Structure 1
Amino acid sequence: MISLTSEYRTPYHALPAAAKLLALCLFTFAVFYLDSVGVALAVTGAVALAYGIGGGRFARQGLRMMRPVFWMALIILAYHLAIGEWAGGLVIVLRLIAAVGLANLVTMTTRLDDMLAVVERGLARIGVSERARRRLALSVALVIRFTPVLAQKGARLIEAWRARSVKRPGWRLLLPLALLAVDDADRVAEALKARSGGL
């Protein structure tokens, strides 16, 4: 599995994984209640500033990982412009960029093992069995890790398409991306079977 933890050290790497994940959950919940363009811009700017605090190289790495999200945001914004609801579309886009941006920052500064440990501890407190905890924790961690990975692969598919065709890729890339996801899932499943020790 590809590790998305950034090699560029930032102040965020030293923060406890539990605190970062809790902050992410609260932020994501709150950000979707934003309905003002000004406030949404300020919140998105704060997320961008958080990357800047991590340093120039860290910020550029985060920007590269966010590229597929920007393309999606442009499509959403173009649609809302076409139907004459640019303000509503801009708020939606800013919410998306802010939420995914912070999730990406947390992923870049938190080890997978630390994420697993946090999820397991949380499940233990509500009485979930150890076996179920391990499975659920692994599932959550894999979703967190593989969502940006699939986004990156989607971006590479788009770049490859544009190098060979002037047409927009659109729905044509859905099947190749789905096959890439299935292939990754197969390889991860085989690795887990070999190493799980009864997971």
Structure 2
Amino acid sequence: MLTLTSPVKTPLHQMRAGPKLATLALFTFALFWTTSPLHLGIALVAVVALYLTGGTQFARHGARMLRPLWPFVAVVGLWHLWLDDLTAGAVVLLRMGAAVAAANLVTMTTRLSDMITVLERLARPLAPLLPPQRLALAIALVIRFIPVLSERAAQLGQAYRARSGRAPGWRLFAPAALAALDDAENVSQALRARGGTG
């Protein structure tokens, strides 16, 4: 599986996972309470500035990681253009961009093992209902599998285009879903082989 942590070291890599996740939670909470396009624009510029503290290579990698966001940006933008409500559209797009970019920044500068440790700590009160290790592992697997599934879907799309010369569209849904289930089964077997309860 792919790692989401950037090998390019930045000052944010030195921060502990707990404070970073807490700052991300507060930042996102503030974004959803803010309705001013100006304030949301400033927040987005601040996040972009944090990317640039890691240098151009780090910023370019971060931009590549955000590429799957563009279809949502296009849909939301066209919808609000059709409604003739550009202010509301700008608020939604700026809020979404700042929140996702900030979350991506934290993911790129925090080791997954550190995030799992924080999640286990936070989930301890739920121990009688749900073992913290299982919850942390499930969240970690979701984070790890997002780029894997995106890459698999891109490969299936390329294979379909090579065979038919057309865009796959909805036809990609079934093979992508089956590939996801196959990967999930392989991971489950690997966890059982290592003494887990997959």
TM normalised by structure 2 equals 0.85
Change (3 A) 1:140 1:13: same
Provide the residue aligned with 2:173 in structure 1. 174
2:183 corresponding residue in structure 1: 184
- How many Å separate the matches in 2 of 1:122 and 1:116? 10
C-alpha contact (below 8 Å) 2:80/2:89 kept by paired residues: yes
Confirm or deny: 8 A CA contact 2:2 2:147 kept in the other structure: no
Match of 2:117 in 1: 117
Structure 2 distance, partners of 1:88, 1:155, is 32
Residues paired across the two proteins, number: 196
Which residue pairs with 2:140 in the alignment?
141
CA contact (8 A) 2:191 2:197 kept: no
1:64 paired residue number: 64
Kindly state the Cα deviation for residue 95 of structure 1 after the two structures are TM-superposed: 1.1
Q: CA offset at residue 86 of structure 1?
A: 1.8
Change (3 A) 1:131 1:36: closer
Shift of 1:189: 1.8
What percentage of aligned pairs have identical amino acids? 46
Of structures 1 and 2, the larger Rg is shown by 2
Three-state SS of the structure 1 residue aligned to 2:191 is helix
Specify the code of the residue in structure 1 equivalent to 2:181: V
CA root-mean-square deviation? 2.6
Distance 1:101 1:198 in 2: 34
Q: Is the 8 A contact 1:13 1:109 kept in 2?
A: yes
Summarize the Cα distance change of 1:12–1:153 in structure 2 as closer, same or farther, 3 Å threshold: farther
Structure 2: stretches of 5+ with no match in the other structure: none
Q: Is the 8 A contact 2:6 2:108 kept in 1?
A: yes
Matched residue of 2:135: which SS?
A: helix
CA distance 1:50–1:122, shift in 2 (3 Å): same
1:52 has 2:52 as partner: yes
**2:98 corresponds to 1:98:** yes
1:116-160 Cα deviation digits (max 9, x unpaired): 111111222x26259701101111222233334444555666677
- Give the partner amino acid of 1:185: A
Q: TM-score, normalised by structure 1?
A: 0.84
The gaps in structure 1 that reach 5 residues or longer are: none
SS state at 2:97 partner: helix
C-alpha distance in structure 1 between counterparts of 2:193 and 2:186, whole Å: 11
C-alpha displacement of 1:76: 1.2
